[in-house]
Structure 1
């Protein structure tokens, strides 16, 4: 049995080393409830969290729900635009909506208290005999919600910088992709038995592709083509060049925004804390992660195509075929990341040195340390 190690102090020592001598994060950062509570308090309760694409919330009444740092929230398309609010009834405190869907009103499943899509209470059965009850006193508490390049973000922090300011560097980096005009065509939710950071780091590096994905995309992934520049405060990224074996991974002929090798460049964007986007000139897919327990992660998984391809008769079938490939890749990633978490729980777990292809993982560790230190200051 290992002696107790303070996970925050272990991470502090780990991140004090320059990248040229860096090691993977210590096991306690992944396996202890104490560190997860620090993350929930100082990261997920403070930073922006992505609930998906605006294209999936396009019609009045479209909604999605989430649990953010322990707080049930809902995001709904009201008459005046997207709104986020508490997903807890103001009567006996049942949660209200669940999953995704469309509704004209928000009806509590316990006593049928009914709220408008702007959060105001519209109806409350059998309340006429309570002399103090006034329907006008009730409105679901608002939660900050912003759209950015077609993504929908929420935060519990009233002082968080606007998303557009926080992610201005991302917008400049991928401006030629016109990310607003990518339409989500599939969405799923999963829970895997691994730590959320293990899955995030797995996305951030393509070093594992030739091995973990040998049966799918590994043969198309050349380590020498992977570029992993230093990250920025709010995100990191790396790029891969795609060949013409998958046409919808390349810029559409009508796209005059991308030039030269840009037309076949895939960006793998890790937007802190937990939005992971594979962005090609023709299609995208994403994961949005939230910890459930040290050894469990909730995953919002979606994707779709650039609207540049909307009128191409074969593009939709190409994307159906691609989705089948992505699902097989996900199965491989699940196996790899759950094995990593099992290893992290071993008394023999000892972090090794990072490859130059794992630069994003180093930057991610630096981000985690900055946020936790700022929260504790």
Structure 2
């Protein structure tokens, strides 16, 4: 349940928690997660201004393929137009302001479900029934507002901020870090949307540390997770990451024999990338999966969940079966993560909740808190 609180006061509590060195750091104060006023600051200073990932470009392969999302209260359409370009635009009709498209699919034009005003894929109004008697109406004056949309290494990002630095510029260090994985050439095999009863930051932090794996995931991957093999370096301004080594028994997590880009332990290294504010990618040499998060109030998070395989594996006869088995495992892991993160939110909603000190394996969480305070203080 959301709690009342003063936004600047909560920011001050968060700043105090991040002003100390990591070696003395604690978890973020409970009010950072549970107060409406802090969420309002996140919407204003983060989700209204930063890049938000809507998924993979290969999920929109042909003209008219579209998906919809909501970003900081703005309904958005992302589609591939007739020229093959990805574009984003408002998903609100310019007549009586109904939303237009819903979910994902393919369309030859954008037709309002309320009065059938019809727009071309580039957002220009094509037709509007029974408007000939309105002397002020001019069809050519109507076009859906266009929204910034960029593709980076196969990911599709949108932003409401016309002044946001290009994605490729902000994430140049990520591109260098995982160059040998050739992330552009991974193909999405599944996509789902979920809503969990937890704060978006609880789920983001859960992804950012693998300290919880042996306990939270005791029934699935916990036994394969070795704490002494996890590496958690300091984060950078636009992202943090940590790495773990996969067991060679999970073959599609290893670099394919045809992959000569990765050497030695790189061939079994998994990167867990947290790209701010809310794109979380598990990237192995053979497969990937991701979460893209958006808050639905302090106590709920909307999740865009997808994954697939490196194209290095596409011609292997057993690759699809291996990936199907992996997807079943990921579903079980998600059940465990949902249970853990919803318990965390219930706990931090208590007036008795107090943040404890962080493990050295939770370095990314400290960097995430530092990022948050830098943005909401603007």
Q: Structure 2 CA distance, aligned partners of 1:293 and 1:245?
A: 41
CA distance in 1, matches of 2:250, 2:107: 38
Q: Is 1:51 matched with 2:54? A: yes
The residue aligned with 1:134 is 138
In the alignment, which of 311, 315, 328 is matched to residue 324 of structure 1? Answer: 328
Q: Is the counterpart of residue 152 in structure 1 residue 156 in structure 2?
A: yes
Find runs of 4+ consecutive structure 1 residues off by over 2 angstroms: 2-6
CA distance in 2, matches of 1:179, 1:79: 26
Q: Distance in 1 between matches of 2:118 and 2:266?
A: 51
Runs of 5+ unmatched residues, structure 1: none
Alpha-carbon separation, structure 2, partners of 1:314 and 1:337 = 34
Contact 2:4 2:36 in 1 (8 A): no
Shift of 1:76: 0.5
Structure 2 gaps, min length 5: none
Indicate the residue corresponding to 1:302 in structure 2: 306
Question: For each residue in 1:313-362, what CA deviation from the matched residue of structure 2 results, as whole angstroms up to 9, or x when unmatched?
Answer: 10000000000000000000000000000000001100000000000000
Quote how far apart the aligned CAs of 1:131 are: 1.3
- 1:15 CA displacement: 1.0
Decide which of 5, 12, 15 is 2:15's aligned counterpart: 12
Which of 274, 277, 281 matches 1:270? 274
Aligned-pair Cα RMSD in Å? 1.0
SS at match of 1:321: helix
Equivalent position of 1:235 in the other structure: 239
Alignment of 1:228-377 (within 5 A): 228-374=232-378
1-structure distance, mates of 2:105, 2:38: 34
Structure 2 distance, partners of 1:106, 1:66, is 15
Three-state SS of the structure 1 residue aligned to 2:332 is helix
Distance in 2 (CA, whole Å) between partners of 1:9 and 1:202 is 24
Distance (whole Å) between structure 2 residues aligned to residue 154 and residue 262 of structure 1: 31
1:64 to 67, 73, 78: 67
Counterparts of 2:65 and 2:312 in 1: how far apart (Å)? 25
Task: Name the structure 2 match of 1:107.
Answer: 111
Q: How many residues align?
A: 373
User: Quick check: 1:173 aligned with 2:181?
Assistant: no
Residue of structure 2 in register with 1:207 after alignment: 211
3-state SS in 1 of match to 2:270:
strand
- Is the counterpart of residue 38 in structure 1 residue 2 in structure 2? no
Deviates more, 1:57-66 or 1:360-369: 57-66
Corresponding position of 2:82: 79
Displacement of 1:3 after TM fit?
A: 10
**Per-residue Cα deviation, 1:53-72 (whole angstroms, up to 9, x for no partner):** 00101111111111101111
- Determine the C-alpha separation between the residues in 1 that align with 2:372 and 2:45: 9
Deviation per residue, 1:201-235 (Å, 9 max, x gap):
00000000000000000000000000000000000
